[in-house]
Amino acid sequence: MSEPAGTTVQAEDQPSWVDVVRRTEHGETVSVVAHGKHVADLVPSGELERLRETIDVLSDTDLVRDLAEGLADARAGRVFSSADIAADLAARHDVGE
């Protein structure tokens, strides 16, 4: 796995953690290297939440299958316009579904 784009700090250099936190507040990922080894990444909290949501989605095999089927349908041209969907919903509403 490659290091993410952003800043790299050497733990042995005793970086200013105030500066490191400030960088993450501005959306930057900061890699931490200790004893020549990449040991950690500090990421903005919004990015961490996005990654957790991605893990949740990818962990749901039924959802992944449904997404793959939907993409295959779209690629094959099996799509509906928003007007078609609105008409279908209106018709369902009229018959009490």
Judged on CB neighbours under 10 Å (0-12, 13-18, 19+), 9 is buried
What pLDDT, on the 0 to 100 scale, is given for residue 83? 94
- Secondary structure (H, E, C), 39-71: EEEECCHHHHHHHHHHHHHHHCHHHHHHHHHHH
Residue 34 lies in a domain: yes
One-letter amino acid for residue 67 of the chain: L
pLDDT per residue over 22-72, tens digit each?
A: 888 998 999 999 999 999 998 998 898 999 999 999 999 999 999 999 999
Residue 80 lies in a domain: yes
Tokens of 46: 């919004």
Residue 25 lies in a domain: yes
Whichever domain contains 30, its CATH number is 3.40.1620
Contact 15, 9 (CB under 8 A): yes
Domain that holds residue 32: 7-44
Number of domains in the chain: 2
What pLDDT, on the 0 to 100 scale, is given for residue 1? 44
Residue 83 lies in a domain: yes
Residue 13 lies in a domain: yes
What pLDDT, on the 0 to 100 scale, is given for residue 77? 94
